[in-house]
Amino acid sequence: MSEKLKIHRFTDMRRLVTRLRDDLNGGNQDFVLLYAYNGTGKTRVSMEFKDAGKRKNKGKPDTLYFNAFTEDLFSWDNDLANDSERRLHINTDSEFFKGLKDLALDERIGHYLGRYADFLFDIDYDQWAISFRKGEDARHIKVSRGEENIFIWCVFMAICERVIDGLETYSWVKYLYIDDPITSLDDNNAIAVASDLAKLLRKAKSRTRPEAVVADGPGEAENPPRMVPAPIKAVISSHHSLFFNVVCNELKKDAHKKYLLQRPERGTTYTLRATDDTPFFHHVSMLAELQKASQGGTLYTYHFNMLRSILEKTATFFGCDDFSACIHGLADADLFSRALNLLSHGKYDIYQPSEMVDDNKKLFRQILDAFLRRYEFALPDIFERPAKRATATPAL
C-alpha cells in the first residue's frame, strides 16, 4: 500500500493531456480511466486530447472521440408544418461519419440498440436523416433525450467495430476518447453499456494488421503477410460511479491507469490522484451514493452489488481475503454475509433492474449502517464544493 497519495498537478490543460498521452505511449498503458465530477471540464479535456493529436500530426486527427460534441452532430427536424414526420438529421461534414453510407452499419447499430432499448430506426442515406418507430403503427416518432443518446452511442460503437476491423476509412484512428457515454441515461443501461464497452476496448487493444513488406525475390509476394500489433488505446472519463466501477472491474487485468481528475477551486490547475495502489476514490464516491440512496432515494437490487464491491475493496486494503472480514463480529454478521452473497449474485443484475422489496431495503440499510459505524468513513476534500451561483460557468 502506498504511504502517500500520488497527486500530480498540472498548471494547464495541455500539460494534463501530455501526461495522459505519455501514459498511453511511454507508459505502455492500454487504457487511462478518469473519474471526475461534473464541472471539472471533462469534455474540454477530451477536445484538448484530440487537438494535441492534430498539432502533432500537422493537422491530421488521430483520435475518434465520443462526448457532448458527438451528440451535437445530430439535430431534430420536428416537422412543425405537418407534425407527422419527425427526423433526426446527421451532420455529414464531420470526420465521424466519413464513409458511413458505404459501411452498412445498420445491422450492428441495431445489434447494440436491441440490448438497451425497444424502438427501431431507419436511415435515409439520401437525406442523411434517421426516423424512429415502435412497431409498424408508430412511425416517425420523437424519442426521448435518453433514447436519442443511447442511439448515438450505438452508432459510435458500430463505427468503433469498423475501426478495429482496420477499414481504410478510419485508418487515422490511433486513440479512442470516451467521455461520459451515459450522461443522459438512467441506471437501467449503465452496467450494460460499461460491460459492452469494456469488451470492445479489449478487442481494440489486441488489434493486429498485416505487416507492410517489399518482396525481394520471386514468390515472396505470394506469402501471407505477418500480422503485427496495431493496438488502439483509449481514455475513458466519467462522473458515474456505477459505470466507472464496472469499467474498472472489467479492465483490471489489462495495463491501465486509474485517476481521480479534479480542478481545484474551478481554476486553471488540474490534479490527477492515482488510485492504483490506494483505496479507490471512486469507491468513496460510491459509498456516498449508496448512503444517499439509503437515506432518501430509491434502492435497487444492484445496490447490493455496489455495497459488496466496496466491502471487497475495504477488505483488500486491510489485507483480508474476503469481504466478510468487514462485518465479522457484528451481531448479525452471518445474516449480512448470506444476504450479500445471495443478493449480489449474478452478472450485473442491472440488465433488468428492479426496486428492492421492503424487507431487503431494511436489510440493506442495516448492513450499510453497521459498516459505516465500524469504519467511520470521512468524506475528504476530494469532493468538489458546488461553484457559487453568481460566478458559475458551465463547463463543456
User: Is it the case that residue 322 has pLDDT exceeding 90?
Assistant: no
> Do 274 and 313 have their domain in common?
no
Mean pLDDT of 357-364: 91
pLDDT at 354: 77
Check the CA dihedral 186-111-233-104 and report its sign: negative
Within-domain flag for 389 = no
> Do 213 and 345 have their domain in common?
no
Residue 104 maps to which CATH number? 3.40.50.300
Query: Each residue of 145-178: pLDDT tens digit?
Result: 888 999 999 999 999 999 999 888 899 999 999 9
> Do 322 and 201 have their domain in common?
no
> Do 229 and 355 have their domain in common?
no
> Do 259 and 313 have their domain in common?
no
Give residue 11's pLDDT band: very low, low, confident or very high (50, 70, 90): very high
pLDDT at 301: 82
Query: Each residue of 310-321: pLDDT tens digit?
Result: 888 788 778 888
d(C-alpha 13, C-alpha 144), whole Å: 34
Residue ending a domain, choose from 218, 249, 281: 281
Are 204 and 160 spatial neighbours (Cβ–Cβ below 8 Å)? yes
Three cell numbers, residue 149 = 443518446
Within-domain flag for 241 = yes
Are 306 and 44 spatial neighbours (Cβ–Cβ below 8 Å)? no
What is the share, in percent, of the chain residues with pLDDT greater than 70?
Answer: 84
> 5-9, 81-85, 176-180, 211-215: lowest mean pLDDT where?
211-215
Q: Largest Cα–Cα distance of the chain, in whole Å? A: 81
User: Is it the case that residue 390 has pLDDT exceeding 50?
Assistant: no
> Do 32 and 110 have their domain in common?
yes
Interior CA angle at 327 toward 317 and 353, to 5°?
A: 90
Q: How many domains does the chain contain in total? A: 2
Three cell numbers, residue 177 = 476518447
Give residue 182's pLDDT band: very low, low, confident or very high (50, 70, 90): confident
Whole domain around residue 61: which residue ranges?
A: 7-281
User: Is it the case that residue 254 has pLDDT exceeding 90?
Assistant: yes
> Do 32 and 155 have their domain in common?
yes
User: Is it the case that residue 125 has pLDDT exceeding 70?
Assistant: yes
Query: Percent helix, strand and coil across the chain, each rounded to 5?
Result: 45, 15, 40
Within-domain flag for 380 = no
